[in-house]
Amino acid sequence: MFTRNGKEIQEGFIHNGKKAGYMEDRYCPKCGGAGRGPWFPDGGICYRCGGSGGHHKAFVKLYTQEQLDKLNEAAEKRRLVKIAQIEAEKAVNQETVLAQYGDLIQRARPFVERNSFISDIVYKLENGIFPTDKQVIALEKVISMLSQQDEKKAEKGEAPLGKQMVVGTICTVKRQYSQFGIQEKMLVELENHSTVWGSVGKALWEMVPCSGEARRLFDEGDLDASFKARFRGVKVQFEADFSHADNDSTHSFFKRPVKFSLV
Ligand SMILES: [Zn+2]
């Protein structure tokens, strides 16, 4: 006779009604019969069996080789049917997802290497997993953001290098807090659309008045917003020491800006 797992039992089995089998000692599965928890440093009472150890006898059914073969055959059949079902469902889903989101996948694919959110979603879509509405909206957003970045970059010219005089428009300014105190930085777009990043010169503060929107925000106490409103869109000429950004010759950092004038 055999157990359900195929282990042969030679002797000592009994009959419970028509069924052959044997009695087996069983214990609490949590503490293994100890009644105390090895997971407590002081070996506290096992919460599963309340300290009893849970000892009991269980009837284990045994099978003839023939019965076992039949059971295994049926189990294998069920397993294959289940796999076929899952595969069929997946194929149907895949077709539906591709029909519905094929265009989106097409537009997302160029960005999979650059963005883990996009690569994750595209992988799911290609494997027939339906996206949520939120995921679709987020995907569209990221695609459009990256496309715009690419378009902008494509039209950017070479950024300045070395000591030069440049003319450009301040896109934005930012206060950075570091161990050296507060530093005021600006992003300037030059006439060939390349960008440069560096300090807002002291001289520039004196040239650009705090008026209109900037004054109103200043009076309201929103100093960061006032700072941004004051300098955004200002067209400026200055000289500085430029160096290219790593892997991007359309963007430079500058040091020691001098000879400021408004254009
Ligand atoms: Zn226990």
Domain spans of the chain, in order of start: 79-153, 162-262
**Cα–Cα distance between 237 and 191 in angstroms, integer?**
11
Q: How far is the CA of 58 from the centre of ligand 1 (A)?
A: 17
Q: How far is the CA of 38 from the centre of ligand 1 (A)?
A: 10
Cβ neighbours around 94 below 10 Å, total: 15
> How high is the pLDDT of residue 145?
93
Q: How far is the CA of 226 from the centre of ligand 1 (A)?
A: 68
Q: How far is the CA of 40 from the centre of ligand 1 (A)?
A: 12
Q: Which two tokens stand for residue 175?
A: 């206060």
> How high is the pLDDT of residue 119?
94
DSSP state of 185: E
Degrees, nearest 5: CA angle 136-110-153: 105
Q: Which two tokens stand for residue 75?
A: 């189990």
**Longest distance between any two alpha carbons in the chain, whole Å:** 105
> How high is the pLDDT of residue 260?
95
**Cα–Cα distance between 106 and 112 in angstroms, integer?**
11
Q: How far is the CA of 23 from the centre of ligand 1 (A)?
A: 21
Q: How far is the CA of 55 from the centre of ligand 1 (A)?
A: 9
> How high is the pLDDT of residue 40?
65
Q: Give the residue carrying structure tokens 């001289």.
A: 203
Q: Which two tokens stand for residue 92?
A: 């149907």
Write out the chain's pLDDT in tens, 263 residues.
899 998 888 887 888 777 888 888 999 998 888 888 767 666 688 888 988 999 999 988 999 999 999 999 999 999 999 999 998 988 898 899 999 999 999 999 999 998 999 999 999 998 888 999 999 999 999 999 999 988 888 888 999 999 999 999 999 999 988 887 888 999 999 999 999 999 998 899 989 998 899 999 999 999 999 999 999 999 999 999 999 999 889 999 999 999 999 99
- Fold assignment, 162-262: OB fold (Dihydrolipoamide Acetyltransferase, E2P) (2.40.50)
Cα-Cα-Cα-Cα torsion 178, 181, 184, 187, nearest 10 degrees, comes to -20
Q: How far is the CA of 39 from the centre of ligand 1 (A)?
A: 11
pTM above 0.75, yes or no: no
Cβ neighbours around 221 below 10 Å, total: 8
Q: How far is the CA of 43 from the centre of ligand 1 (A)?
A: 11
User: What is the β-pairing status of strands 248-262 and 195-199?
Assistant: parallel
